[in-house]
Amino acid sequence: MQLFKLDDKYTVVCETKSTRNGFKHEAVLLRGSYEALKTKVCYLNRTWERFTYETILIQAIDKYFTGDDLIHYKQIINTLA
């Protein structure tokens, strides 16, 4: 499990789990201590991300935020690499 603190309001908790055909990354976006969003990405083989959980972080941000907030949080994700 790995935590990504985006700012004072939002944190993303990421986890890797095995599946029958490969593995998956699961993410929970927390606003304070409340669960705002759950998402997952399944993989059949090795991924080529810049850092572990990059794809799931981007997916969570895309699903939850819109407009200027989306741009702001995507820039935060880009600084994590």
- Would you list the DSSP string of 8-77? SSEEEEEEEEE-SSSEEEEEEEEETTEEEEEEEEEESS----SSTTHHHHHHHHHHH--HHHHHHHHHHH
Query: Do residues 55 and 47 make contact, with C-beta atoms less than 8 angstroms apart?
Result: yes
**Could you give the number of structural domains in the chain?**
1
Q: Give the pLDDT confidence score for residue 49 in this predicted structure.
A: 84
**Whole-prediction pTM:** 0.89
CA dist 54 and 48 (Å) reads 10
Q: Where does the pLDDT of residue 46 fall: very low under 50, low under 70, confident under 90, or very high at 90 and above? A: confident
For residue 41, the enclosing domain spans 2-79
